[in-house]
Structure 1
Amino acid sequence: MSEPLELSRRRFGLLAGAAAVAPLLPSRAAPTLLPAGMAWQLMWSPSAGANGMGAWESIEDDRADSHPAGAPHIRPEGDNYRFTMHTADRDTSTDRQRHEVTGNRTSSSAFLRWRSGELWRVTYSMYIPATLKATTTFTHIFQTKMPGTGTSPITVTSLRRVSGRQTIEHKVFEPDILVGRTDLEPLHDRWIDIDYEIRIGDGSSGGVRWVVRNGGSTVIDVTRTGVDTFLGDRVRPKWGIYRSLGDTSGSLQNCHLLLTRLRSYKAVAQ
């Protein structure tokens, strides 16, 4: 028997179905993309302990079944979501590795849809161990994409080696627009906080803001407007480890990534 709708909503926490009673949050410190007269409406706030893998619209855990002995590669671990990558793991495209989750599930039968013209914000805490290193080719740990196979990312947060230096960066994927970049090594082996805004727009009507905080310090706070953040249909976020095997720095090793306190907000009129 299916679960009653209100019970399902309560089990998934403060979600889209209960958004009418969710508090409105004012903007954070400038520079935010949030216009005057708008506020952040909390739409999604899963708990790894309570919701488990039901927090996600879809799960891409070893799609090629390359390493069943290591499964599950994505799992709840206490209050955190853990993504484990082994050097033996392979995606269906065998030159890369992928363990990712997508979207914001709000009940057993519903998930959020980010549409053109809307402004969304996601916040989360992330633990990157020193074993998860920046590489000379792509290592993405967050993406926004249009659903569907074969579509390119819209924006990406990546761990990239630049002149031998390990960095974490955020880009608008096409046409390779760097929003911001900072050193990765000081952020290894500690919890850091991410605050991300995306105004979904075609052509030059989109914008992004990417903030990384380490404890009480803001490491980087960058905004880029006048960019294309829409391909078609809708946009959805992805988290996890997606990396190329073409690294030439010797940085690929068994590793993991931890996420917790994930939240999604939509900009609404006050």
Structure 2
Amino acid sequence: MKKLTGVLAALPLLLLPVPASAQAAAWTLRWSPDPADDTVAEAFEGIEDDRADSHPGVTHIKVSGDAYRFDMHTQDRDGDDRQRNETKGMRTGSSSYLKILQNQTWRISYQMYIPSTLDSTTSFSHIAQMKTPGSGAPLYTMSLPVSGGTQKINVRHWDEAAQTREVGSTDLAPIQGTWVDTTFEFKAADNGYLRWTLKSGSTTLVNKRLDGTDLWRGDDEYLRPKWGIYRSINSSGLQNTYLLIRNLRAEQLTS
């Protein structure tokens, strides 16, 4: 009886709510634009569409069906030696957008379609970046390089000295002309981490995590992702091409 009384006395403790600090962290959806309802200007913080006016009268970034489309023509220029048609940031209202702050952990996922005309290049060719509002090197890039004579898609981390480390890589040709799923998970910290996954249907092509990554710089105000085509013209065989992205989601790890 004494033992039973002790058990009953402890029961109310089991019914007490778990303190918020002890609850498990969870992913909270913060951004998920829908091309059916959100124009390019409504989905993204900013638009960099032919800033040099090298192709007058042409809109390079637009809604196309259920996706956002980024066109690039061989005549397009963003400076003497490069091309850029990109969006930046994640808009949540007419005058509001998300800011990725120091020590926050985020997961950004989407589907992309890379056509056969969007090939790897021998000079830089980025199709996604993480940057700060100011100038300077990105914190990571998704790129289309040629390596050992083979077309690749890879993700690289960039440190403050613009030195890079590869997170992961796979052949580009097998995924051209099909929708693939990609996710970046990262902690925006001096000693953070970056994980990249790439899937084609049920097949996982890349699932790599790089720890000890510097994903915050001392003068950073905030971080924001970029999507689109940003490439050098110093490669042979550049074609008129495009990139499609859809089902964009940004989730923050919260407790």
Give me the TM-score of the superposition, normalised by structure 1.
Answer: 0.82
> Which of 17, 23, 26 pairs up with 1:39?
26
Alignment partner, residue 97 of structure 2:
111
Alignment partner, residue 85 of structure 1:
72
**Are residues 1:73 and 2:60 paired?**
yes
**Are residues 1:152 and 2:140 paired?**
no
- In the alignment, the residues of structure 2 paired with residue 266 and residue 214 of structure 1 have an alpha-carbon distance, to the nearest angstrom, of 24
Alignment partner, residue 46 of structure 2:
58
Alignment partner, residue 202 of structure 2:
216
Alignment partner, residue 181 of structure 2:
193
Figure out how many residues of one structure are paired with residues of the other and give that number: 227
Unaligned runs of 5+ in 1: 1-35
Deviation at 1:170, TM superposition (A): 0.3
Alignment partner, residue 171 of structure 2:
183
Amino acid aligned to 1:257: L
Deviation at 1:256, TM superposition (A): 0.3
Deviation at 1:251, TM superposition (A): 3.2
**Are residues 1:102 and 2:88 paired?**
yes
Q: Secondary structure at the match of 2:37?
A: helix
Q: Secondary structure at the match of 2:174?
A: helix
Q: Secondary structure at the match of 1:115?
A: coil
Amino acid aligned to 1:154: L
Alignment partner, residue 23 of structure 1:
none
Q: Is the 8 A contact 1:129 1:255 kept in 2?
A: yes
Deviation at 1:37, TM superposition (A): 2.3
Amino acid aligned to 2:48: E
Q: Is the 8 A contact 1:49 1:77 kept in 2?
A: no
Give me the TM-score of the superposition, normalised by structure 2.
Answer: 0.87
Q: Deviations over 1:84-124 (max 9, x none)?
A: 00000000x21000000001100111000000100011110
Identity %: 44
**Are residues 1:124 and 2:110 paired?**
yes
> Which of 203, 226, 241 pairs up with 2:212?
226
- In the alignment, the residues of structure 2 paired with residue 145 and residue 77 of structure 1 have an alpha-carbon distance, to the nearest angstrom, of 26
Which is higher, the Rg of structure 1 or of structure 2? 2
Q: Which consecutive aligned stretches of 4+ in structure 1 deviate over 4 angstroms post-superposition?
A: none
**Are residues 1:255 and 2:241 paired?**
yes
Q: Secondary structure at the match of 1:192?
A: strand
